[in-house]
Amino acid sequence: MSLSIKTPLLESLPLGRSIGTKVWMKMEAMQPSGSFKIRGVGFACEQHHVRGAQRFISSSGGNAGLAVAYAGRRLGVPVIVVVPETTTQRARSLLALEGAEVIVHGKTWFEANELARSMQTAADAFIHPFDDPLLWTGHASMIDEVVADGIRPDAVVLSVGGGGLLAGVDEGLRRNDLGDVPVYAVETEGTASLNASISAGQLVEIPAVSGVATSLAAKQVCRRAYELSKERPVIPVQVTDREAVDACSAFLNDHRILVEPACGASLAALYGNKMPLNKVSNVLVIVCGGSTATVESLLSFQG
């Protein structure tokens, strides 16, 4: 029994019109935890459960934390999620609804993560939000499903925060003989840590993260994400906060699905035709979702 589900692969006529070719959406927003994270997190939790883990510990008040909480509930394993003070009340409530113990600590994810790490015992499994090969293997299954549905993409568009999705999509592309397909890695201007590393020619940490796309707010991507920029075509793209939020609104109108600004970033790159994709046949965009997205939050971003 997999904790993630096979998600629909849908053609988007509005996005296709924007860039002048066919656009296919992998609808990860429809995963039971609300985002793509359950693929990798679920796979990792299943592996740790088989090995005898008696508790899962995580350090994310967003999509990863909710995926761990969902996995723990389904597997019957207790979960502790340490969240920073900036985590919204809605996120805390959703974690509690899944049965997780929520501990609020620190002003940043880094501080919450340090506490979570310090709590780990030999009987626990620590589930990292993005930097773990188990996660990447789980995420790769979305590409297996795309290929099984008869689409071999000529380009992939996705959002980048810590880089776990990028690493997983790369693994999925490689194992389906699509290792040369370019990946357009989209970040908001206030969270562009992958772009900074590619520009610097080495893995670097940006001084600060800012803006509405809080799920992308990693000051440094995982090393694997940076390494991929040396191994395959990885093209960094940046959008503004306003473009990301407007893309969420347009996507809600076009496809009746609500996503968070972190997901809106990749959609904004398509709506804004920011990439030279009109000469390829099939573009795949990962609609990564957003566990805590609400209409009210979207309206507040637009204010």
Q: What fold characterizes domain 37-133?
A: Rossmann fold (3.40.50)
9-36+135-302 maps to which CATH number? 3.40.50.1100
Q: In what order do the strands lie in the sheet with 22-26?
A: 9-11, 22-26, 282-286, 155-159, 183-188, 234-239
Task: Tell me the torsion sign for CA atoms 119, 90, 64, 33.
Answer: positive
Tell me, what's the pLDDT at 270?
A: 98
In 3D space, the residue among 106, 137, 178, 154 whose CA is nearest the CA of residue 42 turns out to be 137
Tell me, what's the pLDDT at 238?
A: 98
Q: CATH 3.40.50.1100 region(s) of the chain?
A: 9-36+135-302, 37-133
CB 64 within 8 A of CB 40: no
Tell me, what's the pLDDT at 297?
A: 86
CB 102 within 8 A of CB 81: yes
Is residue 125 helix, strand or coil?
A: strand
Tell me, what's the pLDDT at 127?
A: 97
Question: What does pTM read for this prediction?
Answer: 0.96
Tell me, what's the pLDDT at 153?
A: 98
Tokens matching residue 69: 């909480």
In 3D space, the residue among 181, 187, 184 whose CA is nearest the CA of residue 206 turns out to be 187
CA pair distance 222, 139, nearest whole angstrom: 15
Tell me, what's the pLDDT at 292?
A: 86
Tell me, what's the pLDDT at 278?
A: 86
Tokens matching residue 48: 């740790």
- pLDDT < 50: residue spans in the chain: none
In 3D space, the residue among 155, 251, 171, 264 whose CA is nearest the CA of residue 216 turns out to be 264
In 3D space, the residue among 128, 180, 129 whose CA is nearest the CA of residue 153 turns out to be 180
Tell me, what's the pLDDT at 12?
A: 98
In 3D space, the residue among 61, 69, 108 whose CA is nearest the CA of residue 89 turns out to be 61
Tell me, what's the pLDDT at 214?
A: 86
